[in-house]
Amino acid sequence: MRTLHLAHLYPAEMSVYGDRGNVIALRQRCAWRAITLHVTPVAPGDQVDWASFDLAFFGGGQDSGQALIAHDLLERQGPGLRAALEDGLTMLAICGGYQLLGHYFLTHAGERLPGLGVLDIHTVGGKQRMIGNIVVETKLGEQTVRLVGFENHSGRTFHGSGVRPLGRVLVGYGDNGEDGRGGAVDRNIYGCYLHGSLLPKNPQLTDHLISLALKRRYGPQVGLVPLEAQLELQAQQTMLGRLLKRFA
């Protein structure tokens, strides 16, 4: 039986809008393949051996939650986490967690929160709150997938040249409501604003993240055993049908 290890960053401070469901989905789709996924919560002040992890999840939170953990993220976890991400650690970050992976987050109150700097993005708080269902079209390997989710953010995230967009926004606001970009990818780091939660609604992305982690741990020859997702895909297609009527 294969084993993977996942670090859940700051679950008490940074896990809103159903984001814990992403960890549940990863664990369950691993279990159905006889892969044991060990989940370790990372709290402020913890000593962490980042080289021991295969996956990391960083959920969303309010500005106040981000302020509580920003110093710990940079000063205590920063060096080890940066090195692990450079070495191919697979990470999914949502909303507030996504923002803190960038260079900085300038809140609507004018407070500048420095980020980890592992994604070439920065975020500026705005007065308009961008709320609603969202569809982002992306490529996962050779497969084109339309991801569904729910966004709720006032921060507007802008990309530098060092990242590529996760995908193209078909419905919703996306990262900033201006350029049609939804999320960012660099190495095995995936960040976006899709709550709801993201992975139970999109098993294709769940399996893609598990596959990346398996290949890093056990070698590029390791493939992911196919797994049925009939009910999940039916739910996904139902939402896409409702949201993409204007594309018909």
Binding-site annotation: residue ranges? 129
Is 122 annotated in the active site?
no
Kindly tell me the number of DSSP H helices and DSSP E strands found in the chain.
7, 11
- Residue in 8, 159, 195, 208 annotated catalytic: 195
Is 95 annotated in the active site?
yes
The residue assigned the tokens 């919703």 is: 172
Residues annotated in the binding site for substrate, as ranges?
129
Cα separation, 163 vs 236, whole angstroms? 27
Q: How far is CA 185 from CA 32, 88, 130, 234, 235, in A?
A: 27, 12, 21, 27, 26
CB–CB of 157/98 below 8 Å? yes
Phi-psi region of 90 (alpha: psi -120 to 50; beta: other; left: phi over 0): beta
- Residue in 8, 30, 95, 192 annotated catalytic: 95
CB–CB of 94/201 below 8 Å? no
CB–CB of 134/193 below 8 Å? yes
User: Which sequence positions are flagged as catalytic?
Assistant: 95, 195
